[in-house]
Chain A
């Protein structure tokens, strides 16, 4: 079964850090470009960033609001992708989804909730 499972969400204070994980199964992870998307309460979907497959250079790209604060990494030996979030702000509060378009229809996890609040 093709599956993505996010974990690591929780409550963190402004300025704090959190690392989200996404476990992939059921597809060739090494070929997949992995993306993080978020949805803040009452807001729309927002692209956070993406890491390409290592065979495609492993390039990482980030949306402007998170560039310099968030870091995406992947471990192909474990079929895992991570989102390291530093210097968190209240506006980073959202459900964070891991997704890949390795196939059509694309694959999404159920999401993990991050709340940034003092």
Chain B
């Protein structure tokens, strides 16, 4: 089955830049989406179609891609950004959706 690979954890100090990667063989063909998930809350879409930011999401959130790796970058991390982050995409058939295993972002 198709898999998306994320690092389990990333730690940064406030004001620094956090980068979270997501690797998957189908990523050059299929779009990637990023979600922020906090305990007790529904997921929030922070990046869609690889690089687009929904309205209401701070400009410090950005997405980029290179080959089979997609990266979520949070510039000038704030304490409120501490959360789990998940990438989401589709397998090469375009049928089955898959989430990465999630990355816990800790703001030191």
Where the two chains meet, the residues of A that have a C-beta atom closer than 8 Å to any C-beta of B are 35, 37, 39, 44-47, 50, 61, 63-64, 97, 99, 104-106, 108-111
Contacts and interface: CB of A to CB of B under 8 A. Distances in A.
Given A35-B97, A45-B99, A105 B54 contact: yes
11 contacts: A44-B102, A47-B96, A47-B97, A61-B95, A63-B96, A97-B43, A105-B44, A105-B45, A105-B57, A108-B42, A109-B42
Contacts of B102: 44-45
B55 interface: yes
Contacts, number: 49
A44 B88 CA distance: 12
- The main secondary structure of chain A at its interface with chain B is strand
Contacts of B61: none
Interface of B: 1, 35, 37, 42-45, 48, 52, 54-57, 84, 86, 88, 95-102
Given A61-B95, A106-B45, 10 more contacts: A35-B97, A37-B99, A45-B37, A45-B88, A46-B99, A47-B88, A47-B98, A47-B99, A105-B54, A108-B42
B95 to A, nearest CB: 6
B42 A50 contact: no
A83 to B, nearest CB: 15
B43 A105 contact: no
B42 A110 contact: yes
B46 to A, nearest CB: 9
A44 B101 contact: yes
Contacts of B97: 35, 47, 50
A97 B97 CA distance: 15
Contact of B42 (A35, A97, A104): A97
